[in-house]
Chain A
Amino acid sequence: AQSVTQPDIHITVSEGASLELRCNYSYGATPYLFWYVQSPGQGLQLLLKYFSGDTLVQGIKGFEAEFKRSQSSFNLRKPSVHWSDAAEYFCAVGTGNTPLVFGKGTRLSVIA
């Protein structure tokens, strides 16, 4: 069965520092990969997605992610974090025939 692992439950970074959130997946086929962000009490907003092609994907709010098939990873990065980036981040996996499977999320705190 497919699964998504986000190894870091909580990460704290300083404003202006770089960020990398890890995501590993287990899937039998070439997956569609997604990163969503959730602010407290809110729904999910799509940051970026990978379906095929270029393995480095650009998203909104200055985020990017890189698909590494050999490592079954899809890590999210941002070169300089802003205080407004503090939120919960979810990695998700799916295909055209299966529903999204989400990781448990990584909570990002940003300190001054």
Chain B
Amino acid sequence: ETGVTQSPTHLIKTRGQQVTLRCSSQSGHNTVSWYQQALGQGPQFIFQYYREEENGRGNFPPRFSGLQFPNYSSELNVNALELDDSALYLCASSLGQMNTEAFFGQGTRLTVV
């Protein structure tokens, strides 16, 4: 059984650019959630995808968008990057809507300069 994997592990982008982060969910899981963890803070919910549909969204602007594919892997896209977007982005997979038990990947560290 494979766990949750995220790519890339680290990324440096320039303000105004666009970025795509990727997540492969744990085998058998159909739900992927994305979280943003700023330095020194707890993770904050961005949105969740369940069976390829967005199923809940946190307090993030529309320039944060996502996709889920038929194999339940997912992408997080961020347009018009701002310095405050620098953070660790965590993907979590689970079975079923919202959370019963979520398994996290190791995260993608995004630095915006």
Residue-wise, chain A 21-62 has the 8 Å CB interface mask toward B (1 for contact) of 000000000001010100001111110010100000000000
A104 pairs with B45, CB closer than 8 A = no
Pick the interface stretch among B11-19, B36-44, B62-70, B71-79: B36-44
| CB <8 Å contact, A44 and B43 | yes
> If A42-B107, A44-B104 touch, does A101 touch B45 (CB 8 Å cutoff)?
yes
A45 to B104, Cβ gap below 8 A? yes
Point out the residues of chain A lying under 8 angstroms from B92, CB to CB: 44, 100
Given A101-B45, A102-B43, A102-B44, A96 and B109 contact (CB-CB distance below 8 Å):
no
* Contact of A99 (CB < 8 Å), options: B4, B56, B100, B104: B56
Bound complex: CA of A94 vs CA of B101, how far in Å? 10
Interface size on B, residues (CB 8 A): 28
Interface 0/1 of A47-82, CB less than 8 Å to B: 001010000000000000000000000000000000
Contact residues in B for A44 (Cβ distance below 8 Å): 43, 90, 92, 104
Chain B residues closer than 8 Å to A84, beta-carbon distance: none
Interface residues of A, count at CB 8 A: 26
Say whether B30 faces chain A, with CB atoms less than 8 Å apart: no
Is the Cβ of A94 less than 8 Å from the Cβ of B98?
yes
B48 within 8 A of A: yes
Q: Mark B15-38, 1 if CB is under 8 A from A, else 0.
A: 000000000000000000101000
Q: A100-B45, A102-B43, A103-B42 are in contact. Are A46 and B103 (CB under 8 A)?
A: yes
Q: Does A99 lie within 8 Å of B97, measured CB to CB? A: no
Chain A residues with Cβ below 8 Å from B4 are 43
Judging by beta carbons under 8 Å apart, are A97 and B43 in contact?
A: no
- What is the CA–CA distance of A97 and B35 in the complex, to the nearest angstrom? 17
* Bound: A71/B81 CA distance, A: 42
CB distance A99 to B98 under 8 Å?
yes
Within 8 Å by CB of B101, from A46, A97, A101, A103, lies A46
14 contacts between A and B (CB under 8 A): A32-B100, A42-B107, A43-B105, A46-B104, A94-B98, A94-B99, A96-B98, A96-B100, A98-B56, A99-B99, A100-B35, A101-B45, A102-B42, A105-B41
